[in-house]
Amino acid sequence: MCIFCKIIAGEIPCSKIYEDENSLAFLDIKPVNPGHTLVITKKHYQDIEEIPAEELAALITSVKRVGELIKSKLKVEAYNILENNGPSAGQIIPHLHFHVVPRYPDDGLSLWPSRNFEKEDFERIKNKLLS
């Protein structure tokens, strides 16, 4: 049983801020910023490819509610929604979850560097995706 399943089962405590029949949201124990929240499915799905579309729609609705809660109660103007899908993408716990990270002016966070690509690179990648 993964750590998130243990949290859902009540075996490990969490700082719960939202819950419905399909999802649970709680404060991250190693937050990027104050209010950093994880929104997880109550059923165990390893990643976004495993979850049925209708359950994903319900989960993203919970993510939206948490974002609205963070904006209104923590008085922030913005937040990031992140989902790391697989170990190479930074997924540490193999249970589908979204991060809702409050953003503050000049908080020093940078998501990722951008890169320059040539027109041929775009064409090559597009052709791979469409083939």
- Give the neighbor-by-neighbor strand order of the sheet with 78-82: 16-19, 23-27, 37-41, 97-103, 78-82
Residues 6+ apart with CB under 8 A from 15: 26, 27
Question: How far does the chain reach from its first CA to its final CA, in angstroms?
Answer: 39
Active-site position among 36, 95, 97, 99: 97
- Which region holds residue 106: left if phi is over 0, alpha if psi is between -120 and 50, else beta? left
Active-site residue, 97 included: yes
Positions marked catalytic: 97
